Amino acid sequence: MNLEEIKEKLHSICEMEGIGINVYFLLKAENNYVLKRANIIENVKTTIISSYKNSLNSIIQNEDLALLNLSAADDRIHAFYKYDLEETPGVFNFFEEITNPQNQIPYFSFDLDELADLEGYFVYFGDHANNVLFYRKQMSVNLFKQGKIYLIKGHETQFTSIDEEFLRIDGKIDVLKIEAVIYINNIDILERHYEFRNIIINEATASIENISALQILENIEVLSERINDVAFARKLSKISTTSPVFQLPKETIMNFVRGHLTLGHEFRYSQDGTKILLDTKKSQNFFLRLMNDDFLHSQLTDYDYVTPAKDKL
């Protein structure tokens, strides 16, 4: 689906009469997770539906939104990412569990279960023929625990307190599954949680292997030393699958670097001058931009630019 088709799909769900909603809690259980269905009274469901319609409409009405593959994620603020990596976080498997008609998911019980074990929650939104699934990572600020004092509106000028544990559903969406495809609406959540961190490191390791094959670096080991820095690893990971620089001969890359107004002064070189030496973090970051083909030239103004966002014409 392209972006317009996605927006049309979401719009058709928001406009339907009698939208159905089911909420499923993902609970920590020893070394695993389990799903429990939330038994929510109908008038509260109506409020939750309204909140999610607002969230979907913010996606639908965002004219600046871009649809990108996750493997080609850049620094754009308004972006919707299609998950296209081979390895997937285990939490995504619960999408299938929810939609499998053979599964009888038990209800959450306050006698047997604890809201403190809540890892996140899934939302089935729509009807049987037309629906979308959401996932939202549970944020600690949304769980109000017993034993703490919360002042609420009482009589006229007075405050009273509540001593019950309660959960706030904020209506935000981190991940969506539309038909058979998973899209990331909040990429920061994946970088901070789940196996995604390890997935990014695996992808970055593959990038280092591809870079090594170019024989363009004098000290490639410095990239491996920074691989546990997730922000750096994600930038490193995307060049393994998307960068056209890997298709170029070594000589073409080196000639470009030496002749570039900026890069020519940012790198040092091996004694024979045939390889780049990455002796600072700044030079390492510039090298990632080089491999990602971020240095572009305007035919109109004759200016050189650094831009991670590149939509091919």
Q: Is the dihedral of CA 70, 207, 241, 203 positive or negative?
A: negative
Return phi, psi of residue 77, to 5°. Answer: -75, -45
Length of the chain: 313
Reading the block at residue 279, the tokens are 């002796």
pLDDT in the model for residue 76: 75
Comparing CA positions, the residue from 110, 116, 107 lying closest to residue 29 is: 116
pLDDT in the model for residue 90: 87
Q: In 3-state terms, what secondary structure has residue 118? A: strand
Contact indicator for 262, 304 with CB cutoff of 8 Å: yes
pLDDT in the model for residue 70: 85
pLDDT in the model for residue 237: 83
pLDDT in the model for residue 162: 62
Contact indicator for 67, 25 with CB cutoff of 8 Å: no
> Burial of 243 by CB count in 10 Å (0-12 exposed, 13-18 middle, 19+ buried)?
buried
pLDDT in the model for residue 218: 92
* DSSP H or E segment with residue 276: strand 276-277
Return phi, psi of residue 61, to 5°. Answer: -90, 0
Q: What is the pLDDT of residues 193-240, one digit of tens each?
A: 767 888 888 888 988 998 998 899 999 999 999 988 887 888 888 776
Residue corresponding to tokens 């994620």: 73
pLDDT in tens, the chain (313 residues): 899 999 999 999 999 988 999 999 999 888 889 999 999 999 889 999 999 999 999 999 999 999 988 887 766 778 889 998 888 888 899 999 999 988 899 999 989 988 888 888 999 999 999 999 999 988 765 665 655 555 556 666 666 656 666 677 788 899 999 999 999 998 877 767 767 888 888 888 988 998 998 899 999 999 999 988 887 888 888 776 667 888 889 999 999 988 888 888 889 998 888 999 998 999 998 898 898 888 877 776 777 767 766 666 5
What CA–CA distance (Å, rounded) separates 291 from 307?
13
Apex 54 CA angle, 53 and 60, nearest 5: 85
pLDDT in the model for residue 231: 79
Reading the block at residue 208, the tokens are 């280092």
What CA–CA distance (Å, rounded) separates 268 from 275?
9
pLDDT in the model for residue 230: 80
Q: What is the pLDDT of residues 125-144, one digit of tens each?
A: 999 999 999 999 887 656 65
* 297 CB-side CA count, 13 A: 6
Comparing CA positions, the residue from 210, 219, 212 lying closest to residue 238 is: 210
> Burial of 33 by CB count in 10 Å (0-12 exposed, 13-18 middle, 19+ buried)?
middle
Residue 122's CB is within 10 A of a number of other CB atoms, namely 24
Residue 263's CB is within 10 A of a number of other CB atoms, namely 19
- H helices present in 27-108, as ranges: 42-60, 93-99
Contact indicator for 91, 206 with CB cutoff of 8 Å: no
* pTM reported for the whole predicted model: 0.80
